[in-house]
Structures are given as structure tokens and as C-alpha cells.
């Protein structure tokens, strides 16, 4: 939905007013008119503000007031607020509201006054639904919703305009990522991802170069070519370049673009295999992040690198036992064709290293092991640089995208040692997320690199308290926050 930020929305134009209130809320620090309405509603209904408590009251202007509880003030965090905002969108849709306002009278810890932006971006993304291919019984009554996030009276107009612009750009980027991720594998092929990257690049004035098979062969990207062998779809290597004139730093973003992962010859069990259309969510995160960064004119040079292919078991597919010479010249013994993400990322990380950026960040739905460790609460973070890791964790904490650090110690090398080649592509089940990260590190030549394993966070297996089923947009918010933090 479209989101405005305002100190004083026009009450007569509102269909529905929402107030998110923690338990024992004393003062509601918004315009007296609004505060009066909210206080009246609380008094009349005996509303206590417990988590999951919500009450809708019929009033005069606006006609409907809904109170949503946030629970105890000291356990208040962004993830709780996100759930409440998701609820707002659901209730507004059910009521067929067109114009709503949201009052959130509290400050969140660690946000240093940037609450309006973070709340507005989550609100803007809260009504997302991927219904492109629903042709029957589509909900026609609920149209587009225009929302106003109400801020305290003291907020200055410049901050409001900035927050609004940032929130809209980030929410639009999250939509780009979700639409790409949710698109079915028969549609979202490597060529399709490349076309979308070109469209987005054109829209925001970024350079985009798409390399096809011939160019990939010329660059000797052995990993990407090996994985592609079993597929009838041509591979792509996509390069996005956002180079603002005032840039002081250069960041390379690398995203895994497997448009469908069947496992290849080491084929996956069929249960939930349909979820492997999401195996390009890292690629989507890179495209979305560059879209937002360019729209916000963040003065950091960004190069986006996306290796993309399907992983299928066709007649010419790569096989266990094959030895592949990668772009870097290192050799890899394939022991499991389902460990394909690291094969294509290795070439992209080598390519990124040659550009000598200040930082390399990669995004990949890389291992089931990471999902076993962290579930969907956090992405796995691996880095060769403590300062970078700490910074990313803090950025994620601020915008509600949790990262949890896991090790990529050299001692995991034993797991991927090969008798036949420089290394093998899988270290087995134990420590699977770490041995995968260590494999990637073998191809990184940059003192400030981080790998985000988003296998558990890139998509929701079903609807949860914060979002609908499907792609979540993971990666965009934390990366924009990181890019902005480089300027502070």
C-alpha cells in the first residue's frame, strides 16, 4: 500500500483509524484530537494492550477505530510491531477500507528516532499478496489502500519527507524481490531474471550487462557451466553497476540465482521440492537492493553480480565424481550435485574479488543445515572480518532482520578435502552451513567479506504472524541500512 507520514491526518477522510498500543500506555503523544479518540476507545472498551488483543469500535469520525495490543513495553521490539502492522493490513482488507491511519505512540529501542521510516516501510509492504495467477474468486471488493503513519507533533517536516521517500523506495524494492521470488520456475528462468534486472536497471538509471553462455565460457566460469549442463535453459551472468559520482566506497553484492534446484543427479526427495523455485532469492535481493540504493542516491558504488542457472538432471548433467576447473583455476571434485549454489557463487566471488571492492556481501539460500540451526528467525552470517560482521548484525537488529553469526573456521577444511582435486564441493551433513561458507571463502580475495545464508529467511513456508506465505524480501532492508551506515 501507499504510505504517507503525517503529524495530523484529515480525520474526516479516514475510513479506519488503527492504534498500536503497548500495555499500560500512559500518554499518547500525537495531536490532541487523535489522542482523544484513541484514549476514549481504550476507556470505553477496557482494552489492555496484551499481545494479540485487538478490538474494533464503531465511532463517528473516523467511523472505525481498531486497537491492537503490543504486550509489555519492555519486551517491545520491531518484530512484534511488524506482526501488528501485518494485522492492520489484514483487518483493513477485510473491512474494504481505502484510507487508513496508524498511530504508534512509542519509541523502539536502538532506533534513534528512525522509527517512522522502519514502521512506514513495513506498513507499506504489509498488504502484499502474490495473486498474479489467481483467476477464480479473486477478491475484487478490496481496492488499493492509502495509509498514513501518524508521528508525534514535534517531528520536523524535513525528516518526514526523507523517511517517507526512504520507506517507499525500500518497500518497492521488497516487492521487487518478493515478485521475483514467488514467480514460478517455468516463468522465472535465468533469461527472465536477466530481463527483470535490465528493466529495473533502466528504471533507476543503473548499468546492466547480461552475459550469455558464450561469454560465460570465455570467462571460464567452470562452476556455473557445470551446474548448467543438466538444464535446457541457457545460463546467465548478470552484472549491475551503480556508480554515483560522489562515491567513496565500493561494495560488491553477489546473489545466488538458481531458478530451480532439483538437486541434479543427486536428486532431492519430491516432498517440498516446489519450494526450490525460491533458490534465486539471493539474486532477487541483489536486484532489489540496487533498485532502492539507486532511487535513494546512496553515494556508494555498488556492483551486483548474479550467476544464474537451473540445477536439473538432464542427459548432459554434471555428475558426482566429475572434477571441475573453476574460474579461479582451483579444481573441485563434485561429490554432490545438490551442492550447486557454492559452485556458481565461487566463480562470482572470484569475479567480485578481482574488482577489488571495499566489501563483498553475498546472499544465498545455500544450506538446509542453516535452516536446521536457526529456523526462520535469523539468517546465518559468516565473515572473515569481525568489524563487518558486528556492523551487519547491528544494522539487521535496527531494521528487524536478524543475522546470527556462525563460524567459517579454517579447521572445517578437513571436511572438504579431496584426494583427487583441490577440494570437494560438499563436506557432508555435520556443520553443513559452515563447511559451505568455508568453501566460498576459498574463492574470496577481499579482507572484508560476509556471506548471508538466507535459506531459512528468504521465504515463509506458510503464513506466519508477520508475513504471508512466500518470498519475504530478506536482505534488502539490512543491506540498505548497511550502505547508509558506511556514510556515518
Active-site residue, 413 included: no
Applying the rule CB under 5 A, the residues between 144 and 163 that interact with Zn ion are: none
Among residues 99, 152, 336, 384, the one that binds ligand BES under rule CB under 6 A: 336
* Paired residues of 350 in beta bridges: none
Contact of residue 383 among Mn ion, Zn ion, ligand BES, none (CB under 5-8 Å per partner type): none
Task: Give the one entry of Zn ion, ligand BES, Mn ion, none that residue 369 binds, where binding means its C-beta sits below a cut-off of 5 to 8 angstroms depending on kind.
Answer: ligand BES
Full 3-state SS string of 178-203 = HHHHHCCCCCCCHHHHHHHHHHHHHH
Any catalytic annotation for residue 342?
yes
Q: Which is nearer to ligand BES, 340 or 347 (CB)?
A: 340
Residue 397 binds to ligand BES (criterion: CB under 6 A): no
Which of 455, 471, 476, 480: binder of ligand BES (CB under 6 A)?
455
Give me the 319-358 binding string for Mn ion, x by CB under 5 A, dash otherwise: -------------------x-x------------------
307-321 burial, b for 16+ CB within 10 Å, e for fewer?
Answer: bbbbbbbeeebbebe
The candidate with the shortest Cα–Cα distance to 227, out of 306, 295, 319, is 319
CA dist 23 and 115 (Å) reads 19
Q: Which three cell numbers stand for residue 4?
A: 504517507
Choosing from 236, 256, 295, 342, the catalytic residue is 342
CB of 225 to Zn ion, least distance (A): 17
Radius of gyration over every alpha carbon of the chain, rounded to an integer in angstroms: 23
Element (H, E) at 470: strand 470-471
Torsion angle, alpha carbons of 204, 190, 133, 287, to 10: -30
From the number of C-beta atoms within 10 Å of its C-beta (0-12, 13-18, 19+), residue 27 rates as exposed
In the shown chain, the binding pattern of residues 426 to 445 toward ligand BES, with x for contact by CB under 6 A and - for none, equals x-----x-------------
Which among ligand BES, Zn ion, Mn ion, none contacts residue 367 (Cβ within 5 to 8 A by kind)? ligand BES
Instruction: Name the binder of 212 from Mn ion, Zn ion, ligand BES, none, CB < 5-8 A by kind.
Output: none
Whole-number Å distance between alpha carbons of 56 and 81: 18
Residue ranges that bind ligand BES, judged by CB under 6 A: 261, 279, 336, 338-341, 365-369, 371, 426, 432, 455
Note the residues at the interface with Zn ion (CB under 5 A). 258, 261, 279, 341
| Enzyme catalytic residues | 268, 342
Amino acid at each position: 500500500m501507499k504510505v504517507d507520514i503525517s503529524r495530523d491526518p484529515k480525520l474526516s477522510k479516514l475510513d479506519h483509524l488503527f492504534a498500536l498500543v503497548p500495555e499500560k500506555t500512559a500518554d499518547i503523544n500525537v495531536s490532541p484530537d487523535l489522542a482523544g479518540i484513541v484514549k476514549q476507545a481504550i476507556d470505553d472498551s477496557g482494552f489492555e494492550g496484551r499481545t494479540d488483543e485487538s478490538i474494533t469500535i464503531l465511532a463517528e469520525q473516523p467511523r472505525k477505530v481498531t486497537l491492537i495490543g503490543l504486550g509489555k513495553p519492555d519486551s517491545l521490539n520491531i518484530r512484534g510491531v511488524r506482526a501488528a502492522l501485518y494485522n492492520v493490513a489484514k483487518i483493513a482488507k477485510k473491512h474494504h477500507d481505502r484510507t487508513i491511519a496508524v498511530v504508534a505512540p512509542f519509541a523502539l529501542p536502538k532506533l534513534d528516532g528512525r522509527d517512522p521510516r522502519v514502521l512506514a516501510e513495513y506498513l507499506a509492504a504489509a498488504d502484499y499478496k502474490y495473486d498474479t495467477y489467481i483467476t477464480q474468486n479473486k477478491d475484487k471488493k478490496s481496492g488499493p489502500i492509502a495509509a498514513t503513519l501518524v508521528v508525534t507533533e514535534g517531528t520536523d517536516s524535513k525528516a518526514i519527507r526523507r523517511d517517507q521517500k526512504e520507506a517507499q523506495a525500500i518497500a518497492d524494492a521488497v516487492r521487487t524481490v518478493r515478485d521475483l521470488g514467488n514467480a514460478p520456475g517455468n516463468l522465472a528462468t535465468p533469461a527472465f531474471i536477466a530481463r527483470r534486472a535490465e528493466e529495473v536497471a533502466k528504471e533507476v538509471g543503473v548499468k546492466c550487462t547480461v552475459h550469455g553462455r558464450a561469454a560465460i565460457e570465455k570467462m571460464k566460469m567452470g562452476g556455473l557451466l557445470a551446474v548448467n549442463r543438466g538444464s535446457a535453459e541457457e545460463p546467465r551472468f548478470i552484472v549491475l553497476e551503480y556508480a554515483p559520482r560522489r562515491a567513496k566506497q565500493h561494495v560488491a553484492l553477489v546473489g545466488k540465482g538458481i531458478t530451480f534446484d532439483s538437486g541434479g543427479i543427486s536428486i532431492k526427495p519430491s516432498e517440498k521440492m516446489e519450494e526450490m523455485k525460491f533458490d534465486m532469492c539471493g539474486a532477487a535481493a541483489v536486484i532489489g537492493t540496487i533498485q532502492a540504493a539507486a532511487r535513494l542516491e546512496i553515494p556508494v558504488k555498488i556492483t551486483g553480480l548474479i550467476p544464474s542457472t537451473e540445477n536439473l538432471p538432464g542427459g548432459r548433467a554434471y555428475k558426482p565424481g566429475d572434477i571441475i576447473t573453476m574460474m579461479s583455476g582451483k579444481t573441485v571434485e563434485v561429490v554432490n550435485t545438490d551442492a550447486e549454489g557454492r559452485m556458481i557463487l565461487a566463480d562470482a566471488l572470484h569475479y567480485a574479488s578481482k574488482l577489488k571492492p571495499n566489501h563483498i556481501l553475498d546472499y544465498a539460500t545455500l544450506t538446509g543445515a542453516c535452516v536446521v540451526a536457526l529456523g526462520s528467525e535469523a539468517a546465518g552470517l559468516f565473515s572473515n572480518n569481525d568489524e563487518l560482521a558486528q556492523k551487519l548484525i547491528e544494522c539487521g537488529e535496527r531494521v528487524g532482520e536478524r543475522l546470527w553469526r556462525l563460524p567459517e573456521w579454517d579447521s572445517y577444511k578437513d571436511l572438504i578435502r579431496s584426494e583427487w582435486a583441490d577440494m570437494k564441493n560438499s563436506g557432508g551433513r555435520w556443520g553443513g552451513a559452515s563447511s559451505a561458507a568455508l568453501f566460498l571463502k576459498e574463492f574470496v580475495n577481499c579482507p572484508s567479506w560476509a556471506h548471508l545464508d538466507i535459506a531459512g529467511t528468504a521465504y515463509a513456508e506458510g503464513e506466519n504472524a508477520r508475513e504471508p506465505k512466500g518470498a519475504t524480501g530478506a536482505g534488502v532492508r539490512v543491506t540498505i541500512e548497511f550502505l547508509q551506515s558506511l556514510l556515518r
